[in-house]
Amino acid sequence: MKYCEMTKEQLLAEQELLQKEYDGWKAQGLKLNMARGKPGKEQLDLVSDMLNILVDPDACESDGIECRNYGELSGIPAAKRLFAEILGVKETECFVGGNSSLQLMYDTVSKAFTHGLLHSEQPWCKLEKVKWICPAPGYDRHFKVTESFGVEMITVPMTADGPDMEMVEELVKDPAVKGMWNVPKYSNPEGVVYSEEIVRRIANLKPAAPDFLLMWDNAYCIHEFEGEFQPFPEILTLCREAGNPDMVFEYASTSKVTYPGAGVSVMAASEANIAYMSKLIGIQAISFDKMNQLRHVMYLKDKETTLALMQRHAEIMRPKFHAVLDALDREIAPLGIADWKRPVGGYFVSLDAMPGTAKRTLALAKEAGVVMTGAGATFPYGKDPQDSNIRIAPSFPPVEELKAAIAVFCVCLRLAAVEKLLAA
């Protein structure tokens, strides 16, 4: 029976039952974490052969480059080739960095503010106002970057196929709108894959700002956990064909392929952009860690080998997502108190609880020892106008712990909904 169809008496009875169940969980003193898209130990152990792949000093050369010494700011050619193949771009369009694609993204925004981008009339710090398009729910760390620079963030709703493009097309007419965040494949948190039509409309935007910065965080480009690898539209080519060759910067990393703390990141953009950014980055660093780049090249080899590894990650991830989705189907679906998507890739399940109950649900979960991403985090400024969206990150806990965590979560979700209905 749906909660909205219950009488007050039925709701009170349900509340009593749930409270007992909740107290039972609480008494167990659980310590469970579904907060971040952090790979689990089994995934880390998958790639242990990388640890001893580069132990011979004579093997530290790659294409004639001594990887132990200074130099090669934009990365070793072999690493560029690997990422170029995976992303479908040219080797000359790749800048291979350190262990963090977030750092490359932050740097791009930071340099836009301090130095300006290739087509900027002036550094953004000289501007009265900088506005930014934020499809939401979205990635909290993206929003934190633009918030940190004092950008005015404009929320654009996500549809099942990507951001609401009519709104985006209207917004870019404002020259103060300088950029847009995107996670085009298995978006964080909803797992939405931008449709080819929407990708094309984005590539064909006609922004008033000559230095509009299309941030294309392809974090989950090879991260299917159901089924085979799904090819994705190549955004650099589409932008070039649309007459916007320098509008887009694409990012990816091996954080969820090899080691989250010790992977390799890449930034892909037009050759003109790579040349411009390399000049600026050359002031800040002599080079990134080429030894780790070489380790990755030796271990991942090529796209085919990398995709085979991703299937092994999928085998670990799949049962975790099923544990979450099965519990939601069983415990929540009949009650009509929440909606959620069924992603086939990425790292999250995004759930829309009854409006006004997300914060309360997560507070209850926390009290019972289940830590989750804070309510509102998936919206600019950390403020969900509906207090409804909740991001579930099933990757880190072992399946048995995850089952307990999601059981607790379901009780909290129900309890918060009953409370809300009783207060109405």
Site for a copy of itself, rule CB under 8 A: 36, 38-39, 41, 44-45, 48, 51-52, 54-57, 60, 66-71, 98-100, 102-103, 106-107, 110, 113-115, 123, 125-126, 141, 144-145, 148-149, 255, 259-262, 280, 283-292
The DSSP element (H or E) to which 265 belongs, if any, is strand 265-268
Min dist CB 11 to a copy of itself, Å, is 41
Q: Provide, rounded to whole angstroms, the least separation between the CB of residue 291 and a copy of itself.
A: 4
Residues in CB range of 208: below 8 A, 6 or more apart: 172, 173, 174, 175, 177
State which residue, 368 or 392, has the beta carbon closest to a copy of itself. Answer: 392
Query: String of b and e for 186-208 (b: at least 16 CB within 10 Å)?
Result: bbbbbbbbbbeebbbbbbebebe
Give SS3 for 180.
strand
**Nearest distance from C-beta of residue 53 to a copy of itself, angstroms:** 9
User: Cβ 128 to a copy of itself, closest distance in Å?
Assistant: 12
Q: In angstroms, what is the minimal distance from the CB of 107 to a copy of itself?
A: 8
The residue assigned the tokens 């029976």 is: 1
CA 34, CA 77: separation in Å to the nearest integer? 38
Classified as helix, coil or strand, 391 is strand
Q: Residue ranges of the alpha helices (H) in 28-89?
A: 41-46, 77-87
Helices 399-423 and 358-367, axial angle in degrees (round to 10): 130
Report the amino acid identity of residue 12.
Answer: L
Residue 49's φ and ψ, nearest 5 degrees, are: -65, -15
Which of 262, 404 has the CB closer to a copy of itself?
262
As beta bridge partners, residue 132 has: 153, 179
The residue among 142 and 420 lying less far from a copy of itself, judged by its C-beta, is 142
Task: Give min distance, CB of 18 to a copy of itself, in A.
Answer: 34
Q: Is the CB of 39 or the CB of 162 nearer to a copy of itself?
A: 39
> Between 260 and 376, whose beta carbon lies closer to a copy of itself?
260
DSSP H or E stretch at residue 105: helix 101-114
CB of 100 to a copy of itself, least distance (A): 5
Q: Which is nearer to a copy of itself, 232 or 251 (CB)?
A: 251
- Which lies closer to a copy of itself via its Cβ, residue 67 or residue 410? 67
Structure tokens at 9: 């008496």
